[in-house]
Amino acid sequence: MTKLFDLIARLEGWYPPKTADDWDAPGLVTGSSSQIVEKVLLTVDVTDAVIEEAIQLGANLVVAHHPYLLRGVQSLDESLAKGANLARAIRANIAIYSAHTNADIADGGVSQALADLLGLSDAVALSNGEQTGHGRVGQVAPTTLGALAQVLASRLPATAGGVKVAGDFDQLVERVALCGGAGDSLIGAAISSGADVYITSDLRHHPAQDAREHAIHAGGKPSLIDISHWAAEYVWLDGLAARLADSFDQVEFVVSDVRTDPWDFLVTQ
């Protein structure tokens, strides 16, 4: 018999909440630490569809990457989405737990999973050059920017936005910097690392433009690859499920089939 506090203890051993960014809110959103857990659903986001999937699976716990109440809410009125989803989870005896920036930075965390997807060697944290920290930077076998983007497109789960690239298709790439999730705050670190390309999500117009202007005056690098925020973090879930299954053989761990990327289709000109 496995109780929720056992699972929380293991997760917080791997991803200590004290290592989360100051603005973050990881941890238990709803549920009792003493409740029994037999089936766990893993997801990037908690949405209405994810709650429905958890109910249909008979899950007792949803482990999400993004905290469901990260931004303050004034009401849990069930006519509103937040209130309705939490009420459904509580009535179905489904606990919700999140590991966010504390999982982003960890060895075996989100950015490391993305680095592993690309086969980065000698990878260290982009933010501090250690094994724990935001982002990763490492080496890949010599390739081109276009070929690397194609590898990403083939290995990431499909999304409407696909893979966007700023740079020369035939540019040589050997050193790669990346950050799972929104990472334009680390563009400066990517430049300082000497990376040929920086891969992240949610790149805004001005930071991306400034980075490309810098590249024009610095030999063409780093190029930029912008991938889906959801897809970049979803690749962490299979490894997390496997780690948890190794620790709790009486609990079933299921990675959600729900695509929580918010975009549905793309229209090109």
pLDDT value at position 43?
98
pLDDT tens digits for range 38-69? 999 999 999 999 999 999 999 999 999 999 99
> Number of C-alpha atoms within 13 angstroms, CB side, residue 167?
31
pLDDT tens digits for range 155-212? 999 999 999 999 999 999 999 999 999 999 999 999 999 999 999 999 999 999 999 9
What's the chain's length in residues? 269
Average of pLDDT values for 126-146?
Answer: 96
CATH numeric code, 4-100+236-255: 3.40.1390.30
Calpha distance 192→197 (Å, rounded): 12
Task: For domain 110-230, give the CATH superfamily.
Answer: NIF3 (NGG1p interacting factor 3)-like (3.40.1390.30)
pLDDT tens digits for range 243-267? 999 999 999 999 999 999 999 999 9
Residue 115 has pLDDT above 90, yes or no: yes
pTM over 0.85: yes
In single-letter form, the type of residue at position 254 comes to: V
Do the domains at 4-100+236-255 and 110-230 have one common CATH topology? Answer: yes
